[in-house]
Chains A and B, each alone.
Chain A
Amino acid sequence: MDNEKAIEYLNGLLGRTLRIHATDGRMFVGLFKCTDAERNIILANSFEYRLPTTSAIQEAAAKETESWDKTSETKSATVKVNMTSRLIGLIVIPGHHITKIELE
């Protein structure tokens, strides 16, 4: 891949939704806006996803049996895939903290 091809490839991804996994285990999902030679990636309207802690899973499971509100953050359709997410907006993920990039 030469420079021109590289640009073409990356240009094709602009505006698409990327899932970027970071070294600390979090995943960020947002619209791809910009990158550079060091793979510093800017995502817009992004959400942070974090694997729930053990106690949170227990709590979620317990709540499942109750009549608590289920419409929001804690997506408890099925308890096992539950990741907590929150909106964090416009972000830069430094290249050296990226472990995996996925295209939705």
Chain B
Amino acid sequence: MTHDAPSDLRYVRYDSARESEYVAAMRQLISKDLSEPYSIYVYRYFLYQWGDLCFLAMDEKDEMVGVVVSKLEPHRGGPLRGYIAMLAVREEYRGRGIATKLVRMAIDAMIERNADEIVLETEITNTAAMKLYERLGFLRSKQLHRYYLNGNSAYRLVLLLKEGVGSIRTSFDPYGMPHAPPADQPAHAVAATQGNGS
């Protein structure tokens, strides 16, 4: 699928020294693209702990045109699970493989850090995002009924990176909390609409 990514683009890792500049640009890019609203602390949560899993695409004028935000931590005492939280590409730059390139960078960085698996959620109606991740080898593991604030359902997509991860037991008690919010996020600011941009 990849049209050649234009050579005038630079792909860089997030740099905490440039926090104020980068975060402002990211917020602008993402709020345009994703339906769920995120506060400044949503960015803090991801960037302070996993800034090295955040990648940016900058154009020749050094303006941000694409971003991927992720995290990586043990999942309920089980496998080391990567999570792709946000992905956005500026509209006029879509269709050039920028999103795929960014996601690949994030996945590669997680593999380097010994991730067992990577998961994410995407709106059922977002076929572009689904295609992107499925091309990379993600499988739909479950459907999540009315997952987003706008009432849309989602798929959980999973990429297994190591053998034997599927049999690692987690400490999850399915009957503990019948009304618990979805596994990876707090109640409202669902951390993971996937931007449209293959």
Contacts and interface: CB of A to CB of B under 8 A. Distances in A.
Please tell me whether chains A and B touch each other in their complex, using a CB distance cut-off of 8 A. Answer: yes
Contacts of B39: 92
A94 interface: yes
B177 interface: no
B125 to A, nearest CB: 29
A40 interface: yes
Contacts, number: 9
Nearest to A91: B39
A40 B42 CA distance: 13
Interface in B4-43: 39-41
A42 interface: yes
A42 B42 CA distance: 12
Contacts of B41: 34, 40, 42, 92
Contacts of A40: 40-41
Contacts of A36: 44
B185 to A, nearest CB: 14
A94 B44 CA distance: 14
A62 B90 CA distance: 55
A24 B187 CA distance: 27
Interface string B32-67: 000000011100100000000000000000000000
Nearest to B44: A36
A34 B39 CA distance: 14
A87 to B, nearest CB: 14
A70 B95 CA distance: 60
A30 to B, nearest CB: 15
Nearest to B39: A92
Q: Rank and list the top 9 A-B pairs by shortest CB-CB distance, nearest first.
A: A92-B39, A92-B41, A40-B40, A92-B40, A42-B41, A94-B40, A40-B41, A34-B41, A36-B44
Interface of A: 34, 36, 40, 42, 92, 94
Interface of B: 39-41, 44
Given A40-B40, A42-B41, 7 more contacts: A34-B41, A36-B44, A40-B41, A92-B39, A92-B40, A92-B41, A94-B40
9 contacts: A34-B41, A36-B44, A40-B40, A40-B41, A42-B41, A92-B39, A92-B40, A92-B41, A94-B40
